[in-house]
Structure 1
């Protein structure tokens, strides 16, 4: 690994990307050079300890979610363990959690905004029990804070908390990319991966770029063949999506992002697991640096 790849995030390193891709219906290619790329590292014991703190587990079925930009981080299939849903109120608890996630990601709920329990009970026509249960789940996911004498408040992540989540994403999504590269020669895998590279009809728009971004990351998570890891990866997407979908990241971010996807895709299609893992970590690190460069007001204290 080059010296640039081991530079710490505090050294002021820049992320220099190659030209945006020209999309083809086979594999995408791009050319250029990279410089001053930062790669995050975390000792295995610390990674495991951090992951366990989330207390997450996926159902036994693999996650095969249909991701749209407005649904980033909101699984349509696969539920978290410790739901505590009773037959009577389980459905509405799930609906409150899902719709609140969507509202946070899309910006309909502002960072720091208070969630009024009485308003939600009226909106969903339920008692306070399911609402409080939903708040507990959202708090466990790090999306809201339960503040004494104030109630539930949409959480505003600090820079350090955003960095921690990207650090874990780098480890997990890097591993996923390595695993997919190792399986790319298996029957059907190359075709499934290539399908995730195909652009949507609105590929030239910001909305289309966002959707294609999460579709590719989701395909890599699913094709890795580890349902629990795929669920954890998706759980970690929402903090980034909260910045993406609020318009904090401009068009150049998305052009840079698809260029990074090209390099990852080429490594996976070549069956080069080591390169795919490194490129995925570099890709996420550069995304992190762009988020950390946003104004101080968008972060928590």
Structure 2
């Protein structure tokens, strides 16, 4: 049987880090990480491309473009892709590639670790094993493989700073689990419904504003004045943002954003279930002034969606 071809795209992160006088810093290459799972060299052909060597705190939208283009340019040469990445922004990158690689017809699997590869108690080797098994599993789409879970890329969030489980699935079931050396898919395979399309233009002028008691509506106007073309509002509960019954009435600020062509999309600070802005009068009023409900999408997924839509809107004009 012909071996499957896997392309590892390495970007740095904790999994690739080593101690320095000032703390951990990415230093290991993708080839170094592959040495931790030599068994896969026997059952598949693995190539490695070092895209960057960064603490993922430093990952920006331009790095998402680099990752997405790297997959798109090689997708006919490989059966699957594995992206090693730092945990802090992995959910953002996975959500971005989920949107940018429309109708991707092969697995693209992110993984990393909470402890560097090679140190005592590290989760690096187990996460790499999980990611390789998910990649070889053949399910098309973008995923995060971490802590024994296979999570859809546009539904993941980092929930723990220290625990090895780290990531959770938010509003969709887990795609799969890896335990005892075996991968079990928990959902049906997604059907690819059209031709592959790469969305590799992003407009980074998108901000996130968390609504908290005492926050003044002027802050929203300042975001608009600073050049934001879209703002994700993290409201309360089902999408509540203070209206005229509050000393901090955001309704005039919504009108200000609309007049200046800035899109407002509301999500929730709650981890699960998303927003329903038709449930309370306060949400209906916000919608009447142009605030869009974000539904069950995570902030991470909304961010990528808006960056793509704004860029493509410019191209269309």
TM-score w.r.t. length of structure 1: 0.26
Higher relative contact order (CA 8 A, sep 6+): 1
More helix as a share of residues: 1
TM-score w.r.t. length of structure 2: 0.25
